Chain A
Amino acid sequence: MDTWHAHRRAFWTFFLPPTAWLVLFFLAPLALVWGFSFGEKRGLVEIAINGTLENYVRALDPLYLRIFGKSFWFAALTTLICLAVGFPVAVAITFAPPRWKPILLLLTILPFWTNLLIRTYALIAVLRTRGYVNFAAEWGWERADAALAWVGLGDLHLLGERFEPLAMLYNNTAVVFGLVYVHLPFMVLPLYAALDRLERSYLEASLDLGASQLRTFASVVVPLALPGIVSGVIITFIPALGSFLTPDLLGGTDSQMIANVIERQFKSANDWPFGAALSFLLMYVTFFALALRAAASRGRSAMEAA
């Protein structure tokens, strides 16, 4: 840091442009939207910022609270499933033979190379009534039905008169499935980073002291990978909470998340103040969660220091 003081000009040269960029294109628009949230719609494009809390009051209507609640529930469920699925994946990559590791990591981030919209449509192609899962299921059903007919049970129609395609799209399950699919890499990567840093000798020491594999996992791996778990949870939960494309394309009429409502305010409903209030409510909650985590980790280190 001393050298920064010594080279003041160099410091400002490097520091100023990105700062200006952030202020101009991030903080300023954000402040503007924050201002809108205390405003009132006057006409088609005109907004009067008059300090009203009307928008927030409206946002706390049970109708919207329910959608908030649902969004949290979807995001939490997504995070939980990502953690449950992502942990074994991260463990497998960590302990894979060295020449496999880069390939497995590449496969993990490969979905990012394709546009989210295209991936979501691809998922629709897989899950829809005349999609690949149903084709496979139908094929299986026909074989099973033929087998039953062959053993002479054909007349009983044990598997139904004909194949009923599974309805896997346009419901809440489809939304959570889609969210998990999209967010899994966000969970796997920080978990992998944490596990990869974990020294093998800790695991060996635990085994050596008589602990089972499971016990070693619970008492050594998880606590030592905790920072990675927390990061993974946060960077999965926050974007999942703000998803709008996935519920829009995969969800049914009752699968809307809060971001869908916000989008509608800014677009079709053309009610920017209300959209801004909803956005900021979401942000306050996110900040509150992050602050809670910071306080928790500060509390933990304070406890350790004592």
Chain B
Amino acid sequence: MKEVRGASTEPPIVEIRGVTKRFGAGRPAVDSVDLEIPRGELFALLGPSGCGKTTLLRMLAGFETPTAGEIRIDGADVAGVPPNRRPVNMVFQSYAVFPHMSVFDNVAYGLKVTGAPVAERRERVREALGLVRLDGLEARKPDQLSGGQRQRVALARALVKRPRVLLLDEPLSALDAKLREAMRLELVNLRIAVGITFVFVTHDQDEALSMADRIAVMEHGRVRQVADPAALYEYPSCRFVADFIGKVNLFEASASAGRDREGRLVLEVPGLGALPVPHPEPVQQGEIGLAVRPEKLRLGESRPDAEIVFEATVEDFAYYGSETRLFLVTEGGVRLSATVPNTDRGPVRIERGARRFVSWAPADTLVLTE
């Protein structure tokens, strides 16, 4: 996309160091966050409601002042720089498209207030509207637009300023499911087209996984893990991330059994027994989280030749079109959920009370020490 430059030599466009934000007493809304966002990345802030995503984004935009810590944008400390002087622009969750201005005037507003000449203004507005495919709607008022079109106006209005970082607060949450899906791809393509760094907030894990280059998962104001989508899903760093991203079978285990002959860690799970997992790092004694994703579970009617295998009863199942989710109970009374892709057409060949052998590969087991 961009010219190849050593990623290590180019400073990150956004640096967040030890940033904390307190609103009054109690738990801080944002708690000692450190983040570096490289130029040109599509970066997602993901977390449950109230975890501080919006607050962090608003500190980047300049609407909130950090209680402690430092924010650098393009190398410059932005402490004390008001929102109208920051090289960033924001797409608000409610879009905040000015209702008393036409689409053209909305998009031109940011250029007009900074005194751009009329000709340049017109040219850049046209370009921005083309980018979000709103050509021909210049004269419309916001109340004559659909939700999706209003969102494009908000996007164009921010992009026309050519910000160094575009901030988006839950940009797709106000759209219906179908449109949301389409807009995901469109936003990703748009980012590639304009080459601007996007930082977007979402509480929708699918959105983050399918769009972002990297994701920061937040909980209670803290960043729990920063990784690319696949790493986040397959190698979550803690129970919270494993549970928040996707579905997971999570067990509490103890590492009292030590290591087996192959050097694998042997974890004792109540009801499942001793399970070997490849985990070269040393672990503390005591409670350890052990997790396995539902789609990693294999189901068979006869006992497979596998190291980890249990006989289980199908308690319930749910059909999702592309896949079927099964809820099973092992002989030891442990509940497991498994998803099987519906690769063949035809009726669902499963029933409640059926017995299946459940197995998974030791390498698919996640060890969660936090």
Chain A residues engaging chain B, CB cutoff 8 angstroms: 199, 201-202, 204-212, 215, 219-220, 223-224, 304
> Any chain A CB within 8 A of the CB of B199?
no
Q: Are B89 and A208 in contact (CB under 8 A)?
A: yes
Contacts of B82 in A (CB 8 A): 207
Contacts of A204 in B (CB 8 A): 61, 63, 83, 90, 92, 96
Cα(A146)–Cα(B225), bound, Å: 74
Q: Are B92 and A201 in contact (CB under 8 A)?
A: yes
- 20 new A-B contacts, CB < 8 A, other than A204-B63, A210-B113, A304-B141, are A201-B94, A201-B96, A202-B96, A204-B83, A204-B90, A204-B96, A207-B63, A208-B62, A208-B89, A208-B90, A208-B158, A210-B84, A210-B85, A210-B114, A211-B84, A212-B84, A215-B113, A223-B100, A224-B99, A224-B100
> Any chain A CB within 8 A of the CB of B356?
no
Listed residue (B90, B94, B113, B141) with the most chain A CB atoms within 10 angstroms of its CB:
B113
Residue of A nearest to B110 (CB): A209
Cα(A202)–Cα(B98), bound, Å: 7
Q: Are B90 and A205 in contact (CB under 8 A)?
A: yes
**Option from B84, B98, B99, B141 in Cβ contact (under 8 Å) with A208:** B84
**27 cross-chain CB contacts under 8 A:** A199-B94, A201-B92, A201-B93, A201-B96, A204-B61, A204-B63, A204-B92, A204-B96, A205-B90, A205-B92, A205-B98, A205-B157, A206-B98, A206-B109, A207-B82, A207-B84, A208-B61, A208-B63, A208-B83, A209-B84, A209-B89, A209-B109, A209-B157, A209-B161, A210-B84, A210-B113, A219-B109
Contacts of A220 in B (CB 8 A): 98
Contacts of B61 in A (CB 8 A): 204, 208
**In the assembled complex, how far is the CB of residue B325 from the closest CB belonging to chain A, in whole angstroms?**
39
Cα(A208)–Cα(B89), bound, Å: 6
Q: Are B96 and A210 in contact (CB under 8 A)?
A: no
Q: Are B113 and A211 in contact (CB under 8 A)?
A: yes
Cα(A219)–Cα(B84), bound, Å: 15
**Option from B94, B98, B110 in Cβ contact (under 8 Å) with A210:** B110
Contacts of A223 in B (CB 8 A): 100
Cα(A207)–Cα(B63), bound, Å: 9
Contacts of A207 in B (CB 8 A): 63, 82-84
Residue of B nearest to A211 (CB): B113
Per-residue CB proximity of B109-120 to A under 8 Å, as 1/0? 110011000000
Cα(A207)–Cα(B109), bound, Å: 11
**In the assembled complex, how far is the CB of residue A222 from the closest CB belonging to chain B, in whole angstroms?**
10
Contacts of A215 in B (CB 8 A): 113
**In the assembled complex, how far is the CB of residue A100 from the closest CB belonging to chain B, in whole angstroms?**
16
**In the assembled complex, how far is the CB of residue A57 from the closest CB belonging to chain B, in whole angstroms?**
46
Chain B residues engaging chain A, CB cutoff 8 angstroms: 61-63, 82-85, 89-90, 92-94, 96, 98-100, 109-110, 113-114, 141, 157-158, 161
Listed residue (A201, A202, A210, A223) with the most chain B CB atoms within 10 angstroms of its CB:
A210
Residue of A nearest to B116 (CB): A210
Residue of A nearest to B141 (CB): A304
**In the assembled complex, how far is the CB of residue B100 from the closest CB belonging to chain A, in whole angstroms?**
5
**In the assembled complex, how far is the CB of residue A203 from the closest CB belonging to chain B, in whole angstroms?**
9
Cα(A224)–Cα(B98), bound, Å: 9
**In the assembled complex, how far is the CB of residue B167 from the closest CB belonging to chain A, in whole angstroms?**
9
Q: Are A219 and B96 in contact (CB under 8 A)?
A: no
Cα(A205)–Cα(B154), bound, Å: 9
Cα(A202)–Cα(B92), bound, Å: 9
Residue of A nearest to B169 (CB): A201
Given contacts A204-B83, A205-B92, A219-B113, contact A210 B100 (CB under 8 A): no
Residue of A nearest to B105 (CB): A219
Contacts of A202 in B (CB 8 A): 96, 98
Cα(A211)–Cα(B84), bound, Å: 6
Contacts of A219 in B (CB 8 A): 109, 113
Cα(A204)–Cα(B62), bound, Å: 10
Q: Are A209 and B92 in contact (CB under 8 A)?
A: no
**In the assembled complex, how far is the CB of residue B43 from the closest CB belonging to chain A, in whole angstroms?**
19
Cα(A211)–Cα(B61), bound, Å: 14
Cα(A199)–Cα(B94), bound, Å: 10
**In the assembled complex, how far is the CB of residue B175 from the closest CB belonging to chain A, in whole angstroms?**
17
Cα(A206)–Cα(B83), bound, Å: 9
Cα(A223)–Cα(B105), bound, Å: 14
Cα(A199)–Cα(B92), bound, Å: 12
Residue of A nearest to B94 (CB): A201
Contacts of A205 in B (CB 8 A): 90, 92, 96, 98, 157
Cα(A103)–Cα(B62), bound, Å: 30
Cα(A211)–Cα(B108), bound, Å: 12
**In the assembled complex, how far is the CB of residue B115 from the closest CB belonging to chain A, in whole angstroms?**
10
Residue of B nearest to A215 (CB): B113
Cα(A223)–Cα(B82), bound, Å: 23
Cα(A209)–Cα(B84), bound, Å: 6
Cα(A173)–Cα(B114), bound, Å: 42
Contacts of B84 in A (CB 8 A): 207-212
Given contacts A204-B83, A223-B100, contact A211 B92 (CB under 8 A): no
Listed residue (A201, A208, A212, A304) with the most chain B CB atoms within 10 angstroms of its CB:
A208
User: Which 4 interchain pairs have the tightest Cβ spacing?
Assistant: A209-B110, A201-B96, A205-B96, A211-B113
**In the assembled complex, how far is the CB of residue B124 from the closest CB belonging to chain A, in whole angstroms?**
13
Cα(A206)–Cα(B63), bound, Å: 12
Contacts of A208 in B (CB 8 A): 61-63, 83-84, 89-90, 158
Given contacts A204-B63, A205-B90, A304-B141, contact A211 B96 (CB under 8 A): no
Listed residue (B61, B94, B96) with the most chain A CB atoms within 10 angstroms of its CB:
B96
Q: Are A199 and B96 in contact (CB under 8 A)?
A: yes
Contacts of B114 in A (CB 8 A): 210
Cα(A94)–Cα(B141), bound, Å: 27
**In the assembled complex, how far is the CB of residue A199 from the closest CB belonging to chain B, in whole angstroms?**
7
Contacts of A210 in B (CB 8 A): 84-85, 110, 113-114, 161
**In the assembled complex, how far is the CB of residue A94 from the closest CB belonging to chain B, in whole angstroms?**
17
Residue of A nearest to B115 (CB): A210
